[in-house]
Chain A
Amino acid sequence: MQYETVIGLETHAQFHTRSKMFCGCKTDFGAPPNTQTCPVCQGLPGTLPVVNRTAVELGLRAALALRCHIAPVTQFDRKNYFYPDLPKNYQVSQNYHNLGVDGRLEIEVDGQTRKVGIWNVHLEEDAGKLEHPEDTGANYTAIDLNRAGTPLLEIVSAPDMRSADEANAYMNELAAILRHLGISDCKMQEGSLRFEAGISVRAVGGEEFGNRVEVKNLNSMSAVVKAIEHERHRQVAVLESGGTVPSQTMLWDVQREVTEPMRSKEEAKDYRYFPEPDLVPIEISPEWLDQVREQMSELPAVRRKRFIAELDLPPYDAGVIVEQKPIADYFEQTVEQGVEPKTAANWMMGEVMRVLNERQCEIDDLPVSPPMLAELIGLVTDDRISNSVGKTVFSEMCSSGKKAGEIVEEKGLAQISDSGELEAVVKQVLADHPDAVADLESGKQQAKGFLIGQIMRATRGKANPKLAGELIDRLTGD
């Protein structure tokens, strides 16, 4: 029998705000434990929450980008359950009047466009972190409340995905949107983007969904992809052997790359949601929505299409560049300086990304501005320096923050395009390599490449290779 996988994803993204959802504590990652808390996010008795307006507006951006219906009046509800990382033993979330409902996200897989339904988009607060001491003898768990109260966006998709590839495309597109609109920095390694997957399998063409297995602890996109593959094999094997897959919650074991049933007792969950009485409803007027729309930058999908149509970029290049908004912005600003788009794209995907990778930094951290990059590319395209010297100059710019012209000047890297100056070098090289000259004269064209290489070496890369070739031709009387 042929099976298909049915996948729905719940995504939690930490908002890119300065302060927490309901108090003024910072949301910085990596601070020493319990140094970014106050009576409100510690859940001390008597304290009250006040909503961070920016978090609501960023949530609205997401809801609009995902084509949701926006609630005219939205409100917070309390989700009641006991857990040590939740100091109030309830989470302020949304249940009855979500910020946005019934949206969709278009993804592209193998050149095909698919629509994934979005059930709802809502706001909530993050919980603290439980740390298990590395000392294996330790008989306790430590609680760090720095993360407690960090604003979170939850995006619940419909079970519309049918393969790990589709889930992967969905996650990437969603992350691109969240980054592009300044909603979340989506740093998986810092936990600012987290997933839970609902996975089931059924016979192809079946009407009914199979029993759903919820997989938690998915802290990277590749974990989601692997977990889907793993579950698909596991569930199909169960069905093939005549068994049934129980509905249950599983944890992804990152080391062993398997799903494991949750060890703790599976209580019947009764969250007793009710309207949070410490907060008042939020009315979203059409005027407010218009303001939010005005602040929204172009969506990644639109931008990709524009880069392809207007800048004549190959679809692959557009995809790579648009994936991260700062890269796409940088690219556009470079093009605005008059650089030919495909050339600018080659530089972005080549040298720029190589340096970012090497240095593990963001493009905004580079001391090279788009006009500075444009100047450098200009020097190369005008043959003032060779391509390889251009790469060296770029590295130097990234280290020193100096302009390309300055570096070329200082280090004397300008291409030798003066035939008089170069002729002396060429003559010397020809005199030093009579065998190669003989080969060339007997028609072996490879010998010419060798000679040019020697000329480049002698000039430390500064020789204009085209001119050098011409000079060889002339001086060997070919």
Chain B
Amino acid sequence: MTRITTDTVEQVADLSKLILSDEELAGFQEQLDKIIGYFEVLNSLDTTGVEPLAHPLDLRNVFRQDTVEDSAPREDALANAPDKTDEAYKVPVVIESS
């Protein structure tokens, strides 16, 4: 059985961009360990040869035509931005990476 350690929880929190206090970390570790432990009920099922089902509907080939529609006014786009200039969203200086 997969044991969920505090290391695992820290890694997962990091990928999820969440900061956990020590107390939260301990609490989540216990809960996630219990819940993920419960998920292992699925291991008792033999699913050899079973095709994964990602979507309940068997829809295929849904497209739009390559036609231009009106874009939103810039004021609307920026209306909800927590920090902005007249024409763009603002964030703390980003050092170019990927």
Q: Note whether A and B contact each other (Cβ less than 8 A).
A: yes
Please determine whether A38 and B72 come into contact, CB atoms closer than 8 angstroms: yes
Closest to A267 in B: B14
Please determine whether A53 and B63 come into contact, CB atoms closer than 8 angstroms: yes
Closest to B73 in A: A35
What is the total number of residues of chain B having a CB less than 8 Å from a CB of chain A? 36
Q: Is the interface of A mostly helix, strand, loop or mixed?
A: loop
B64-89 interface code vs A (CB 8 A; 1 in, 0 out): 11111111101001100001010111
A439 CB within 8 Å of chain B? no
A82 neighbours in B (Cβ, 8 Å): 17
Binds B, one of A276-284, A352-360, A364-372: A276-284
Q: How far is the CB of B64 from chain A (nearest CB, A)?
A: 4
Centre residue among B61, B65, B95 by max chain A CB count within 10 A: B61
B19 CB within 8 Å of chain A? no
Please determine whether A32 and B64 come into contact, CB atoms closer than 8 angstroms: no
B94 CB within 8 Å of chain A? yes
Please determine whether B89 and A143 come into contact, CB atoms closer than 8 angstroms: yes
B44 CB within 8 Å of chain A? no
Given contacts A216-B98, A263-B97, A264-B97, contact A33 B63 (CB under 8 A): no
Please determine whether B68 and A19 come into contact, CB atoms closer than 8 angstroms: yes
Binds B, one of A20-28, A298-306, A427-435: A20-28
A130 neighbours in B (Cβ, 8 Å): 94, 96
Please determine whether B62 and A280 come into contact, CB atoms closer than 8 angstroms: yes
Binds A, one of B24-32, B33-41, B52-60: B52-60
Please determine whether A24 and B95 come into contact, CB atoms closer than 8 angstroms: no
Closest to B62 in A: A280
Question: In the complex, A33 Cα to B71 Cα: how many Å?
Answer: 12
Given contacts A35-B74, A36-B71, A272-B15, contact A280 B59 (CB under 8 A): yes
Question: In the complex, A264 Cα to B98 Cα: how many Å?
Answer: 9
Centre residue among A17, A23, A35, A139 by max chain B CB count within 10 A: A35
Q: How far is the CB of B81 from chain A (nearest CB, A)?
A: 9
A54 CB within 8 Å of chain B? yes
Q: How far is the CB of B70 from chain A (nearest CB, A)?
A: 8
Centre residue among B54, B64, B66, B97 by max chain A CB count within 10 A: B66
B83 neighbours in A (Cβ, 8 Å): 140
A42 CB within 8 Å of chain B? yes
Please determine whether A249 and B88 come into contact, CB atoms closer than 8 angstroms: no
B15 neighbours in A (Cβ, 8 Å): 270, 272
A293 CB within 8 Å of chain B? no
A141 neighbours in B (Cβ, 8 Å): 90-94
Please determine whether A25 and B69 come into contact, CB atoms closer than 8 angstroms: yes
Given contacts A51-B62, A143-B91, contact A280 B57 (CB under 8 A): yes
Closest to B90 in A: A140
Question: In the complex, A390 Cα to B65 Cα: how many Å?
Answer: 47
Other-chain residue from B63, B77, B85 in contact with A50 (beta carbon distance below 8 A): B63
B92 neighbours in A (Cβ, 8 Å): 139-141
Question: In the complex, A33 Cα to B86 Cα: how many Å?
Answer: 10
Q: How far is the CB of A74 from chain B (nearest CB, A)?
A: 10
A262 CB within 8 Å of chain B? yes
Closest to A127 in B: B98
Please determine whether A280 and B72 come into contact, CB atoms closer than 8 angstroms: no
Q: How far is the CB of A194 from chain B (nearest CB, A)?
A: 13
Closest to B89 in A: A143
Please determine whether A139 and B93 come into contact, CB atoms closer than 8 angstroms: yes
Please determine whether A53 and B66 come into contact, CB atoms closer than 8 angstroms: yes
Closest to A285 in B: B61
Q: How far is the CB of A46 from chain B (nearest CB, A)?
A: 13
A145 CB within 8 Å of chain B? yes
Please determine whether A281 and B91 come into contact, CB atoms closer than 8 angstroms: no
10 residue pairs bridging A and B, Cβ less than 8 Å apart = A24-B64, A34-B78, A37-B71, A51-B62, A52-B64, A52-B66, A53-B66, A141-B90, A141-B91, A281-B60
Nearest first, the 7 closest Cβ-Cβ pairs linking A and B are A24-B69, A54-B66, A53-B63, A142-B88, A264-B97, A143-B89, A280-B59
Known A24-B68, A251-B96; 15 more pairs at CB < 8 Å: A18-B66, A19-B68, A33-B88, A34-B74, A36-B71, A50-B64, A51-B62, A56-B63, A140-B91, A141-B90, A141-B94, A143-B91, A264-B95, A264-B97, A275-B54
